[in-house]
Amino acid sequence: MKNSVFLLLLIFLMSACRPTAVHHCSAPVFGTYYAVTYCGDEDAGMQASLDSLFAAFSAEFSLFDSSSVVCRLNRGEDLYLSEDFVKLLQLSTQISRNTHGAFDVTVAPLVKLWGFGPDSLREVTAQMVDSVLENVGYEKIGIEYGHLIKRNANIQLDFGAIAKGLAVDKAVELLRQRGYTNFLVDIGGEVRTCGSKAGKPWRIGVQVPTEDSEGEIASSYDFPMCDKAIATSGNYRNYHERDGERFSHIINPSTGYSERSDLLSVSVIAADCTSADAYATALMVMGREKSMQWLQLHPELAAYLIYYEDGDFKVARTPNFP
């Protein structure tokens, strides 16, 4: 009996000391990339399952697939919406209220007007902006019996500032369903971590803003993050230039114009990546001072803001940012 107990104890100690295998999956997706790192036994079907998940996700929310659900809704079709679509629209409306409209998925007509959608940039006048603003406003849409209700037919949706975060969260669900507890999901810099990597916290980096869209990606600050999500919104990679003036893809839904401020990027930590993604965009719209004031009222979020002042990059962050 003693020998049996000793043998079991020895087997336990040997398995406890054995390094946990770490596996990786990655591929292009949504015009960027995804990278999943998970610990434990390798799942031969993981890559195919992730690819299938993201393909189905794109079929609902992509503005670059004319057959997607959101494109069909934008063309005026009446569709019965999936549970994921309804939940995302409800969360989007809640975040719009929380941010006093700084985040708004009805911004699609403005995005198209400024040439950040599938269409190319054209000359934009104040009269055109005023006209399009009549079709923007989260309070002008709703859900009834699983169907999208619009105040007028010209209202269109753009989930570009929140959908990537939801895709991260859906990948997290998939990994958990397959029994994994230690993993990291990254889609184009929107990241969520669960558990640890070989007993150590996952480490996350905040990107240094670049002078232009082709600038080299580098990290200025890294920190441990466990069981949280982080998303970054910035105006230094996706923009147009005309007559020496830079027009950011981040457009204020209230004014119809891209914000001009010293704020270059905002990284937000939240419990889920969907919320982190949306709030990062909302804070970019608010600007540095308003963002820091607003964040004081929302301790459930942590934020790291990079701005430009006196010819150099500077940082403002909430006390709870790791």
Q: Mean pLDDT for each 10-residue chunk of the chain (322 residues)?
A: 40 44 96 96 97 97 96 97 96 97 95 70 82 95 96 95 97 98 96 94 81 53 93 68 55 84 90 98 94 97 91 91 92
DSSP of 25-77: EEEEETTEEEEEEEESS--TTHHHHHHHHHHHHHHHH-TT-TTSHHHHHHTT-
- What integer pLDDT is reported at residue 81 of this predicted model? 98
Paired strand residues for 35: 26, 186
| Separation of alpha carbons 171 and 29, rounded Å | 13
Fold for the domain defined by 22-41+49-317: T-fold (3.10.520)
pLDDT at 114: 82
Tokens 């104890």: give the residue: 9
Closest by Cα among 176, 167, 158, 151 to 84: 167
Q: Which pLDDT score is estimated for 12?
A: 37
- Find out whether 157 and 70 touch, Cβ atoms under 8 Å: yes
Q: Which two tokens stand for residue 230?
A: 């982080």
Q: Which two tokens stand for residue 25?
A: 């999956």
Measured CA distances, 229 to 44, 125, 155, 276, 319 (Å): 26, 39, 31, 7, 17
The structural domains of the chain, with segments of one domain joined by +, span: 22-41+49-317
The pLDDT value recorded for residue 118 is 52
C-alpha distances out from residue 56 to 59, 117, 169, 253, 316, Å: 5, 21, 14, 29, 38
CA distance linking residue 235 with residue 264, whole number of Å? 6
Three-state DSSP class for 227?
coil
Dihedral sign, CA of 195, 167, 30, 279?
negative
For the whole model, what pTM was predicted?
0.87
Residue 197: what pLDDT?
A: 93
Q: Both tokens of residue 305? A: 């803001």
| Structure tokens given for 300 | 């459930």
Residue 216: its pLDDT value, please?
Answer: 52
Helix (H, G, I), strand (E, B) or coil at 143: strand
pLDDT of residue 217: 53
Give the pLDDT of residue 263: 86
Length of the chain: 322
